[in-house]
A and B are shown apart, each in its own frame.
Chain A
């Protein structure tokens, strides 16, 4: 073959096209090491210093809220005679209120309430929202359209107003129920305000979650690997269990994590307005609210619960952001 002196073509010979031996793949190596999804996510999360710091703060707050009160010499509703209206001192690091109650232990209990509300509400939202969203997305067609229109309508109802109204309605019947049912005595302490929050979360707040889950399901449903599973004769149950759920669980968890601060926010707001927990139970919102009248003379009574609630919400927000980035790197905001 004539080859021009200026030719840039590679010199090739027939041997270059000879088939490779059947065992050539024995030399193939993957640069990456064997690692699963959860482990990889945990590694990404560990690299995120802000998220890890937030996680540590959350753990400290949990200890503070759930173990702290046990170690304190006072209880949240104990009125210590002679200790009324104290500024922070050795006996009462956060001071006392005008009834002589220790503010430190009340803040611990308040933190406990806030975190419990956040977590329970988030769980309610996750369960209701993901079931609804999954049904809607899987069913498709007219069922889907109807269910999503319902979501649109619920979405436009201002939930804060409804919490107020529902709380007023269930207060009395609930009180009667608790008084007459010994097994429900535990509910008495948290009061109808908190139960109203849970009810409304179960009734209304899940719509955002339902939309996200449905969106995920619709997106996944059209993935070729789902079609592949169907072509293999995969049953609906197996499809959900083996393919759809594992592929949206990361986003589900991240969304739930970010739901927690939003619920804590709502509780603080309602308790502040006096429609959250009932006295003498304390929440960070009600503590701040009680203290506001004496803000000029006793600013510390506002400062401690205010700083705590902000710290809780901030650390959940930051941890949730980090978790979302770690579980679903595609979603990461640049």
Chain B
């Protein structure tokens, strides 16, 4: 598959910030007495993100989306494939330089903050590591600014994480990621662990920050409603593969891959009149074990449109409409 197919147009014209090519991440797992099998958490995933946009990634738990997020930042080393940031491959490079440009916000606001550190030390760690403050006073000033930015009371400067609520903790986590002024942030299910009432606050804040600080997000979630709200484009993952990738509105209006169709039909609709007439597509069968994925198309065991071709060839992403990619033999 030619790489320019992913965008349909010239990469330079599109102002691509990050490009991921055929990324693979396998974990060896012992399955027998001596035998080891690779768990293909991310298997041949390619996409690109334009400067200033938000690419949403959705999928069931265990589909490899968290691994994808961490591998893109090389927090786990990719097994194969290439990651290109601002036109330069970051594979095999010293990550020091890129750590200042690419950041991550975590899912669990309880596990992601060091319980022995104060808020100021957590947010200030990036400043300490990059030595970007000239003195104590400047460091304090910067930290207070960041706290202000994410809506934290400056009086909490010397408090410990366990004293805060989940939403406040997530704000601390976001302030930490922003401290070195990155261009790109992986948001790894940043609101999944929060109360619904708090989710909106955090998502809105992320959107505001994106605008004011010219940020680019890779936004991972399993909640389709949140992803739809924040994303420019959305990629759907299934068993380590990217099965569909298109603009947010397009995905919701006109999903092509049978898996996407099923996911969308599972969203509860708050209006009983629409809900009653809507055709609900049931997802049949169990999610196959990633240790023993089906041959050919990963989705074929649960797919209503499965043909003999699906059992043999693994479909690759192809552009069926401008900007709409799908990995399926039988649609589009």
Chain A residues at the B interface, C-beta cutoff of 8 Å: 22, 25-26, 28, 30, 32, 34, 36-37, 223-225, 227-235, 238, 242-243, 246-247
Binding-face segment, B7-15, B56-64, B92-100, B302-310? B92-100
Q: Which parts of B271-327 form the interface with A (CB within 8 Å)?
A: none
B residues in contact with A22, CB < 8 Å: 151
B residues in contact with A36, CB < 8 Å: 160
Nearest-Cβ distance from residue A217 to partner chain B, whole angstroms: 15
Please tell me if B37 contacts chain A, counting CB pairs below 8 Å: no
CA distance A83 to B45 in the complex (A): 91
Do B125 and A229 touch across chains, with their CB atoms under 8 A apart?
A: yes
CA distance A30 to B112 in the complex (A): 21
B residues in contact with A231, CB < 8 Å: 73, 75, 99, 102-104
Do B114 and A247 touch across chains, with their CB atoms under 8 A apart?
A: yes
B residues in contact with A30, CB < 8 Å: 156, 159, 163-164
Do A37 and B75 touch across chains, with their CB atoms under 8 A apart?
A: no
B residues in contact with A25, CB < 8 Å: 151-153
A residues in contact with B100, CB < 8 Å: 233
Given known A233-B130, A247-B116, contact A227–B75 (CB-CB < 8 A): yes
Further pairs besides A228-B112, A228-B176: 6, Cβ < 8 Å: A32-B159, A224-B106, A224-B108, A225-B114, A228-B113, A232-B125
11 example contacts (A-B, Cβ-Cβ < 8 A) are as follows: A30-B164, A223-B112, A224-B106, A227-B75, A230-B75, A231-B73, A231-B104, A232-B103, A233-B130, A235-B129, A242-B117
B residues in contact with A234, CB < 8 Å: 125, 129
How would you classify the secondary structure of chain A's contact residues: helix, strand, loop or mixed?
Answer: helix
Picked from B95, B114, B153, the residue with its CB within 8 Å of the CB of A233 is B95
CA distance A26 to B256 in the complex (A): 48
Nearest-Cβ distance from residue A3 to partner chain B, whole angstroms: 16
Do B153 and A225 touch across chains, with their CB atoms under 8 A apart?
A: no
B residues in contact with A225, CB < 8 Å: 111-114
Nearest-Cβ distance from residue B217 to partner chain A, whole angstroms: 15
Do A228 and B104 touch across chains, with their CB atoms under 8 A apart?
A: yes
Q: Which parts of B171-185 form the interface with A (CB within 8 Å)?
A: 173, 176, 180
Picked from B99, B107, B116, B152, the residue with its CB within 8 Å of the CB of A246 is B116
Nearest-Cβ distance from residue B46 to partner chain A, whole angstroms: 23
Do B125 and A34 touch across chains, with their CB atoms under 8 A apart?
A: no
Please tell me if B332 contacts chain A, counting CB pairs below 8 Å: no
Nearest opposing residue in chain B for A238, CB measure: B129
Do B70 and A232 touch across chains, with their CB atoms under 8 A apart?
A: no
Do A232 and B129 touch across chains, with their CB atoms under 8 A apart?
A: yes
Nearest opposing residue in chain B for A225, CB measure: B114
A residues in contact with B107, CB < 8 Å: 224
Nearest opposing residue in chain B for A235, CB measure: B129
CA distance A235 to B130 in the complex (A): 11
Given known A231-B104, A232-B126, contact A224–B112 (CB-CB < 8 A): yes
Do B103 and A28 touch across chains, with their CB atoms under 8 A apart?
A: no
A residues in contact with B113, CB < 8 Å: 225, 228
CA distance A181 to B125 in the complex (A): 51
Do B176 and A223 touch across chains, with their CB atoms under 8 A apart?
A: no
Do B96 and A233 touch across chains, with their CB atoms under 8 A apart?
A: yes
Do B96 and A227 touch across chains, with their CB atoms under 8 A apart?
A: no
Picked from B108, B114, B152, B153, the residue with its CB within 8 Å of the CB of A243 is B114
Nearest-Cβ distance from residue B37 to partner chain A, whole angstroms: 18
Do B176 and A232 touch across chains, with their CB atoms under 8 A apart?
A: yes
CA distance A235 to B99 in the complex (A): 12
CA distance A217 to B32 in the complex (A): 28
| Among B75, B108, B114, B164: residue with most chain A CB under 10 A | B114
